[in-house]
């Protein structure tokens, strides 16, 4: 039935396209010439007459022309959408035809009418009401027409709102069309202004279109209200109608219509801008069409219900991490002048180093040229520190917990430390709720698909019945061309390729494809000589000529196969390879014609030559798998894609309203219209936040998008990537024995050896075998490696060049001794058993080369004090970091990569081909789109030859510059948003499709690495009743089950008192029901302490607000001090009572000492200890009022006391133990990548002029007599010439660089304008580094989910759970 219905719809579409084509051509021809007529007519009317009547005529003609063009597209949409129901009843599916005669039978339950259930009233005798209801629910032919009509009205309503935002001159200041829609045009379409042609109605700003649509939907709502009881029995009567009014779609209807009446009749003189926005809610009505309500909103409800327990825990974890990190970032940055932000509408280019921050957090930038700010509210705040309170800090912390660091280059030292912790750990914990929701959503999709398929209907259509197929989708039939004809010979040569010459031709064409692609890339370079440019141009022309001839010969000879004759030839022409051929050559010839007659560049056409790389698809079958992915997931993609589209339009419109009036000019420019807003909102929904200075409402919306909307928006993108990965992993089973082949890699070194006594002794000693001394020596090597790496990092900080330099002598001496011992003992190493030249082989082995690179430069520099090695000692010091790789010998990690590649070689081959091909093609498209984009100004890029007025054309000056930038975008990050229209269109497709595909190789590497490590560290089954990550505490806790607490040594009175306190604090277990029972006094006390904890958190936040802090004051004994005193008193009493009753608490193992070191005991101490420390320091005179605030901020840890109500953090040690085996290997891998990449970035970028700034008195570029800021090779040379006037904003030392690289590895590229070596490191991280770095984070995520029960459907919680130490 579904196949027949789909075929009927296709026939309708074809008939409609044929009937509309003449109208389309005529209107297209009319619209193409209308602009010239409009310009000439406007010019005549504006110059020949100046009267008001004449101007009205001109405006009328403008409106008519605009309306004609607008109606052209709308009519096409109307015809297409309403074509389906305009057919005979015989063409309708059976269930629709039957429903028209269902006036006296129970209403059918159909996926097309999800609101109609079998419980609907069937006893009504009012045939007219039932007919009306069936009409409204699209159960009749007329109803189907009406449904299509309402869809068009919704689209028209949304479209007029979106397009209308372009015709507001006050926001679109630089637009050429903003003032082209006058009074009459606005009255017809948009209703932007109250003084348009409808002002005589006295109902404010409105339009005829909006009045008509609101009228239709009002009548529709009243009729639905009238027939509501036919939807369900619960809507009968007055109370039933009230329930109907409160239903989802009723509220949607009311939200999209009632504001119009309020705005027009109750408040006609008030501009309620939101009333226009609320028409966006009409989009949600479309969820009702074709069962999308059940598949979308119902699915979200199911996910929330099924995951409610785990989501609650995860949300508590996420909110706690957010609150704690926000407080710490507030402490770290509240005095940081680099975090001062000034409204550019008041003062631009502020030197914030001249600003001052007082003890309460108020900012004064009068010395920097800004107007003064009054702290009493008399003057509008112009400048402020974005971290001046915990409230403001929470937004920026939220961005960083999303993995976004918009202020990455402005953090203080402690801010960078916190940022590193956030990037490495906190982001993964905070992502738990989003990950749970997204995984639950995908699980719902998979479950519903299985239910549907088990019901007998499957959407999957297997082509060819399992027979082998060619690229067109037909079964391959061996057809041999007639060798007596030319066409037959060409067919055999090109299609069959059964001769040596045809195979050589295939190789030639493949080589030509590669060289033509390289030719295009090289031709984009501006520094090529004219001779080379001419040569490359001719080669490109010749290549395209050959490709064109091949394409024509393919088309000419295809008819030799009977399936390709007649209409089959058209289908052959649209097959994958022929479409690739045509797309790759046709644009080139069109560009050549344009160049011959008009002039210009050949690059726009030449870039499509890169498409021919898809011809290599025949060897991998990667892209031809996409039709299988789309077909298998079409229903789900349609639903989730539609939901994502609704989210995109809705949030774009909402942010347009909140940000278009922003006092920040840059923010207002990006949100000056809904189409402009859609670009940034698309990035927000994909998990990006390139802009940051939002209004208060904007920050709330961005936070909601990050927490919830991204999970839904990412589902269709994730489905495409997951579906593709599933298809290309079918061949993995043949290679799964790789993991077992290397199973002994993690095993400790074998004690068996060969060779004489000295060799054996040396071998065993350096490998920690045979004695305690050998083990201590091995441990000392570990310690020295870590110590020298840390010292090497610290020594890159200015002024710390000789920090612990004596330890380097000790380390080099020890490493030299170790190397000599390994050299002597290599003869006894089983690795070299049976091999000749053992010591020579050892010298050139991996670990030997690392040892030599780490120690030889030290001796060379020592022996030759003035040599080249000594002069570049700072670079050779970085070789010490290679010692980290020595740890791989003891904890294999990096050396497992080759195992991963062998294990996943099939899927890696296919996915890497798809990813690299997309990367190459999109890099070319981005180059063509941006190499002449001079629209938006960016920072100076002196390394690229631009010192002032730089634009995106500088970044995309050639193909090779575009390649790494496109790679960053393909990782899902968008640090640059200053793109033109074509660039944004290309990036839209990158977000929607390419990101999911290009991430597959990284995901495959990560999963393969985790699989191999886990397979080599598998343990036996856990004991009954145990859980993942259990330790001695959990074991002891289970052993104490059923045992009575020990008696107190102070007698039975103390015993009774301890039991009473224990029952008051924790309640008593009712053995009959197995539940915890509390007395009234215990319940009141528990509620009081929960209220006290929450109050303390609120007070911490309030105290950080400058206005409140100044009002209360910093004098001792203020209200905050009094509240803190009483809070600490109650918390201290509670802690003392818990220690007192611990003897009777199994959760404390019947020991006060054990309780003191449990999670709860430590949290209790953290909640009171800072106050006592503050009290002692204050009484000693070491603290003033502002400094004491630092200690009071530590009250935020009291939020962890809520753990008593929601168990989560107390399981963290279980999480680490449950994943420790994988964490050891993957953690070392992550550290090596992090430190190694940081070292490379530091070496390559520490003197990058793109990150250099100088005092205003220093010229940017100079002359021979006076060099400029960017003329020096290094920043140090610049400071030598201009003392203390030059500075580097990034990569100044290793700790600084490690912070930035931690952010990069988290997926956020705060810097992109690297040197070429830096770009190579960047591309490595894009391809593999980020994936490998993320493995330990993913492992922690999985372990946390396993420990707290992620994925389990728990209907009830076990009251008696094991607590954690």
DSSP string, 1118-1160: -HHHHHHHHHHHHHHHHHHHHHHHGGG-GGGTT-HHHHHTSHH
- How far does Cα 123 stand from its chain's mean position? 53
DSSP string, 931-959: TT--SSB---BGGGTB-SS-BHHHHTSSH
Sequence-distant (≥ 6) Cβ neighbours of residue 1210 within 8 angstroms: 1158, 1159, 1160, 1203, 1363, 1364
Distance CA 458, CA 450 (A): 9
Six token digits for residue 225: 């209200």
Distance CA 320, CA 297 (A): 29
pLDDT along the chain (1365 residues), means of 10: 37 35 34 38 38 42 46 44 37 38 38 39 61 86 87 85 87 82 87 83 83 88 88 86 86 82 74 61 64 54 68 76 89 90 79 86 86 62 88 90 86 90 76 66 66 50 39 50 82 82 88 90 86 88 91 88 82 85 89 81 82 81 70 69 80 89 85 90 85 88 79 65 61 45 43 64 83 84 85 84 81 87 82 73 82 81 71 68 75 74 78 85 91 84 87 90 90 85 88 72 71 63 55 74 81 87 82 77 86 87 86 79 88 89 84 84 84 81 66 75 64 67 76 88 91 88 85 89 89 91 87 91 83 69 59 41 42
Distance CA 1200, CA 1211 (A): 13
- How far does Cα 1337 stand from its chain's mean position? 16
Distance CA 736, CA 743 (A): 12
Q: CA dihedral defined by 1319, 1323, 1329, 1330, rounded to 10 degrees?
A: 100
User: pLDDT at position 62, please?
Assistant: 47
Name the nearest CA neighbour of 505 among 562, 471, 553, 559. Answer: 553
Distance CA 968, CA 1321 (A): 12
Exposed/middle/buried for residue 668 (C-beta within 10 Å: 0-12, 13-18, 19+): middle
Distance CA 140, CA 129 (A): 14
User: What is the Cβ-side half-sphere exposure of residue 957, based on CA atoms within 13 angstroms?
Assistant: 14
DSSP string, 541-579: HHHHHHHHHHHHHHHHHHTTSGGGSTHHHHHHHTSHHHH
Sequence-distant (≥ 6) Cβ neighbours of residue 814 within 8 angstroms: 780, 781, 784
Torsion angles phi and psi, residue 110, rounded to 5: -135, 150
Integer distance in angstroms from the first to the last C-alpha of the chain? 61
User: pLDDT at position 329, please?
Assistant: 92
- Looking at the DSSP bridge assignments, the partners of residue 383 are 342
- How far does Cα 403 stand from its chain's mean position? 8
Name the nearest CA neighbour of 1290 among 1237, 1251, 1319. Answer: 1251
- Reduce the DSSP state of residue 1253 to 3 states and report it: strand
Q: Are 881 and 789 contacting, i.e. CB atoms less than 8 angstroms apart?
A: yes
pTM of the model: 0.79
DSSP-H helix ranges across 1046-1118: 1052-1066, 1080-1103, 1106-1112
Q: CA dihedral defined by 850, 854, 857, 859, rounded to 10 degrees?
A: -120
- Looking at the DSSP bridge assignments, the partners of residue 113 are 110
- Reduce the DSSP state of residue 599 to 3 states and report it: coil
DSSP string, 1206-1243: S--GGGHHHHHHHTHHHHHHHHHHHHHHHHHHHHHHHH
Six token digits for residue 163: 């397009």
Exposure b/e, 1135-1163, CB count within 10 A at least 16 = b: beebbbbbbbbbbbbbeeebbbebbbbeb
Q: How many other CB atoms are found less than 10 A from the CB of residue 177?
A: 11
Six token digits for residue 864: 């030759």
Q: Are 133 and 230 contacting, i.e. CB atoms less than 8 angstroms apart?
A: yes
Q: Are 651 and 681 contacting, i.e. CB atoms less than 8 angstroms apart?
A: yes
Q: Is the dihedral of CA 598, 602, 607, 611 positive or negative?
A: positive
Please tell me what DSSP assigns to residue 581.
H
Six token digits for residue 117: 């259930």
Stated as kind and residue range, the H or E segment containing 642 is: helix 634-659
| Residue entry with tokens 């060897």 | 619
Q: Are 213 and 151 contacting, i.e. CB atoms less than 8 angstroms apart?
A: no
- Looking at the DSSP bridge assignments, the partners of residue 1069 are 1076
Give the long-range contacts of residues 547-550, CB within 8 A, separation 24 or more: 547/512, 547/516, 547/581, 547/584, 547/585, 547/612, 548/585, 548/589, 550/494, 550/509, 550/581
Distance CA 259, CA 37 (A): 40
- Looking at the DSSP bridge assignments, the partners of residue 1254 are 1286
Distance CA 332, CA 734 (A): 54
Distance CA 1365, CA 1362 (A): 10
Name the nearest CA neighbour of 1061 among 1091, 1082, 1043. Answer: 1082
Q: Give the gyration radius of the chain's Cα atoms.
A: 36
CA distances from 130 to 98, 107, 249, 865 (A): 15, 9, 20, 100
Q: What size, in residues, is the chain?
A: 1365
Q: Are 1130 and 1089 contacting, i.e. CB atoms less than 8 angstroms apart?
A: yes
Distance CA 150, CA 136 (A): 10
Distance CA 501, CA 717 (A): 44
Name the nearest CA neighbour of 961 among 947, 945, 985. Answer: 945
Name the nearest CA neighbour of 102 among 882, 91, 113, 662. Answer: 113
Q: Are 477 and 563 contacting, i.e. CB atoms less than 8 angstroms apart?
A: yes
Name the nearest CA neighbour of 999 among 1276, 686, 776. Answer: 686
| Residue entry with tokens 């001419």 | 534
Please tell me what DSSP assigns to residue 1023.
P
Distance CA 1344, CA 1225 (A): 18
Six token digits for residue 1144: 């009777």
Exposed/middle/buried for residue 1012 (C-beta within 10 Å: 0-12, 13-18, 19+): buried
Distance CA 533, CA 601 (A): 12
Query: Strands 340-342 and 356-357: what pairing?
Result: unpaired
- Looking at the DSSP bridge assignments, the partners of residue 1077 are 1068
């Amino acid at each position: 039935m579904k196949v027949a219905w789909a075929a009927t719809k296709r026939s309708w579409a074809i008939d409609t396209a044929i009937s509309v084509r003449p109208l389309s051509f005529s209107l297209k021809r009319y619209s193409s010439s209308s602009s010239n007529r409009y310009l000439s007519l406007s010019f005549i009317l504006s110059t020949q007459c100046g009267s008001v009547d004449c101007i009205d005529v001109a405006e009328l003609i403008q409106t008519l022309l605009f309306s004609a063009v607008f109606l052209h597209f709308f009519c096409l949409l109307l015809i297409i959408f309403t074509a389906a129901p305009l057919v005979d009843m015989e063409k309708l599916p059976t269930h629709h035809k039957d429903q028209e005669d269902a006036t006296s039978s129970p209403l059918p339950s159909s996926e097309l009418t999800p609101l109609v259930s079998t419980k609907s009233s069937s006893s009504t005798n009012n045939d007219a009401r039932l007919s009306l209801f069936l009409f409204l629910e699209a159960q009749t032919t007329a109803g189907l027409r009406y449904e299509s009509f309402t869809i068009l009205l919704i689209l028209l309503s949304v479209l007029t709102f979106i397009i209308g935002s372009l015709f507001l001159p006050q926001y679109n200041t630089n637009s050429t069309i903003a003032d082209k829609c006058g009074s009459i045009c606005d009255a017809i379409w948009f209703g932007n202004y109250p003084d348009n042609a409808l002002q005589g109605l006295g109902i404010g700003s409105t339009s005829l279109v909006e009045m008509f649509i609101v009228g239709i939907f009002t009548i529709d709502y009243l009729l639905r209200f009238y027939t509501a009881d036919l939807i369900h029995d619960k809507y009968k009567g007055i109370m039933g109608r009230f329930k109907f009014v409160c239903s989802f779609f009723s509220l949607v209807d009311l939200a999209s219509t009632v504001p119009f009446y309020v705005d027009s009749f109750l408040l006609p003189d008030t501009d309620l801008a939101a009333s226009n926005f609320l028409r966006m809610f009409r989009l949600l009505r479309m969820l009702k069409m074709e069962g999308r309500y059940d598949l979308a909103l119902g699915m979200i409800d199911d996910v929330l219900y099924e995951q409610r327990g785990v989501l609650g825990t995860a949300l508590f974890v996420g909110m706690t991490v957010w609150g704690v990190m926000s407080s710490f970032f507030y402490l770290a940055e509240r005095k940081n002048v680099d975090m001062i932000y000034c409204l550019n509408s008041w003062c631009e280019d502020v030197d914030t180093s001249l600003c001052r921050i007082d003890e309460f957090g108020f900012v004064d930038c009068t010395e920097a040229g800004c107007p003064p700010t009054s702290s009493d509210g008399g003057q509008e705040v112009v400048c402020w520190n974005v971290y001046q309170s915990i409230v403001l800090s929470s937004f920026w912390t939220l961005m960083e917990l999303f993995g976004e660091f918009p202020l990455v280059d402005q953090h203080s030292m402690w801010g960078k430390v916190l940022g590193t912790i956030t990037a490495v750990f906190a982001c993964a914990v905070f992502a738990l709720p989003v990950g749970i929701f997204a995984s639950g959503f995908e699980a719902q999709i998979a479950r519903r698909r299985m239910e549907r398929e088990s019901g007998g209907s499957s959407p999957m259509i297997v082509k060819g019945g399992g027979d082998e197929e060619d690229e067109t989708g037909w079964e391959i039939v061996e057809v041999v061309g007639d060798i007596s004809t030319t066409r037959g010979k060409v067919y055999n040569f090109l299609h069959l390729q059964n001769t040596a010459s045809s195979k050589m031709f295939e190789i030639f064409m493949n080589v030509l494809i590669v060289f033509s692609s390289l030719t295009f890339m090289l031709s984009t370079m501006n520094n090529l000589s004219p001779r080379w440019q001419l040569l490359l141009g001719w080669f490109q022309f010749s290549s395209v000529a050959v490709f064109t001839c091949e394409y024509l010969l393919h088309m000419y000879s295809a008819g030799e196969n009977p399936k390709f004759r007649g209409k089959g030839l058209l289908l052959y022409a649209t097959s994958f390879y022929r479409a690739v051929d045509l797309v790759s050559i046709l644009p080139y010839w069109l560009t050549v014609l344009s160049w011959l007659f008009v002039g210009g560049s050949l690059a726009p056409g030449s870039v499509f030559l890169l498409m021919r790389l898809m011809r290599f698809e025949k060897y991998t079958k990667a892209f031809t798998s996409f039709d299988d992915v789309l077909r298998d997931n079409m229903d789900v993609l349609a639903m989730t894609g539609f939901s994502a589209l609704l989210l995109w339009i809705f949030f774009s419109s909402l942010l347009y309203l909140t940000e278009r009036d922003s006092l920040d000019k840059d923010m207002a420019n990006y949100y000056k219209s809904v189409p402009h807003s859609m670009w940034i909102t698309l990035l927000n929904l994909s998990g990006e936040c390139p802009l940051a200075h939002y209004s208060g409402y904007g920050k709330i919306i961005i936070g909601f998008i990050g927490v919830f909307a991204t999970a839904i928006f990412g589902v269709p993108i994730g489905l495409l990537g997951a579906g593709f990965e599933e298809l290309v992993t079918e061949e993995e089973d043949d290679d799964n024995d790789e993991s077992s082949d290397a199973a002994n890699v993690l095993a400790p070194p074998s004690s068996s050896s060969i060779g004489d006594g000295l060799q054996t002794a040396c071998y065993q000693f350096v490998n920690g075998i045979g004695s305690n001394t050998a083990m201590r020596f091995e441990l000392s090597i570990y310690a020295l490696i870590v110590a020298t790496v840390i010292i090497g990092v610290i020594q890159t900080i200015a002024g710390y060049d000789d920090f612990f330099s004596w330890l380097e002598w000790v380390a080099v001496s020890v490493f030299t001794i170790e190397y000599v011992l390994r050299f002597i003992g290599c003869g006894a190493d089983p690795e070299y058993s049976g091999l000749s030249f053992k010591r020579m082989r050892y010298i050139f082995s991996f670990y030997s080369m690392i040892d030599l690179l780490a120690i030889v430069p030290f001796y060379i520099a020592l022996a030759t004090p003035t040599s080249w090695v000594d002069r570049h000692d700072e670079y050779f010091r970085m070789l010490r970091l290679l010692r980290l790789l020595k740890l791989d010998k003891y904890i294999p990690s990096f050396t497992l990569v080759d195992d991963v590649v062998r294990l996943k070689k099939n899927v890696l081959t296919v996915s890497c081909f798809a990813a690299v091909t997309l990367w190459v093609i999109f890099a070319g498209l981005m180059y063509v789109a941006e190499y002449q984009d001079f629209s938006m100004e960016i920072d100076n890029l002196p390394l690229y030859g631009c010192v002032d007025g730089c634009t995106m054309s500088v970044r995309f000056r050639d193909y090779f510059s575009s390649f790494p930038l496109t790679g960053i975008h393909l990782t899902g990050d968008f640090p640059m948003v200053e793109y033109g229209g074509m660039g944004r269109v290309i990036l839209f497709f990158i977000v929607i499709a390419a990101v999911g595909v290009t991430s597959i190789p990284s995901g495959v590497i990560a999963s393969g690495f985790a699989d191999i490590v886990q397979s080599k560290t598998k343990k036996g089954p856990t004991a009954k009743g145990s859980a993942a990550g259990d330790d001695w505490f959990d074991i002891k806790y289970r052993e104490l089950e059923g045992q009575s607490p020990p008696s107190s040594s102070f007698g039975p009175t103390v015993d009774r008192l301890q039991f009473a306190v224990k029952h008051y604090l924790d309640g008593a277990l009712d053995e009959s029901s197995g539940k915890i029972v509390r007395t009234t006094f215990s319940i009141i006390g528990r509620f009081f302490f929960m209220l006290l904890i929450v109050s303390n958190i609120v007070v911490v936040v309030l105290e950080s607000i400058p206005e409140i802090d100044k009002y209360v004051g910093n004098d001792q004994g203020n209200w905050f001090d009094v509240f803190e005193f009483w809070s600490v008193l109650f918390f201290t009493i509670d802690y003392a009572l818990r220690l007192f009753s611990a003897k009777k608490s199994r959760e404390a193992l019947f020991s006060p000492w054990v309780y003191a070191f449990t999670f709860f005991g430590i949290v209790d101490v953290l909640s009171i200890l800072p106050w006592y420390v503050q009290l002692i320091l204050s009484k000693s005179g070491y603290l003033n009022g502002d400094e004491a605030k630092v200690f009071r901020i530590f009250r935020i840890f009291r939020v962890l006391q809520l753990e008593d109500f929601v168990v989560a953090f107390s399981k963290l040690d279980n999480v680490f133990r449950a994943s420790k085996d994988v964490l050891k290997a993957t953690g070392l891998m992550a550290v090596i990548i992090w430190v190694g990449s940081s070292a490379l970035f530091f070496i390559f970028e520490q003197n990058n002029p793109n990150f250099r700034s100088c005092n205003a008195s220093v010229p940017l570029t100079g002359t021979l007599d006076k060099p400029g800021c960017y003329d020096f090779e290094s920043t140090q040379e610049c400071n030598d010439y201009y003392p203390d006037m030059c500075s580097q904003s990034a990569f100044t030392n290793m700790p600084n660089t490690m912070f930035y690289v931690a952010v990069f590895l988290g997926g956020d590229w705060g810097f992109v304008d690297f040197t070429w070596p830096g770009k190579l490191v960047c591309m490595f991280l894009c391809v593999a580094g980020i994936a490998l770095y993320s493995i330990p984070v993913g492992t922690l995520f999985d372990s946390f989910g396993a420990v707290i029960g992620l994925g389990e459907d728990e209907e009830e919680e076990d009251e008696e759970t094991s607590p954690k130490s």
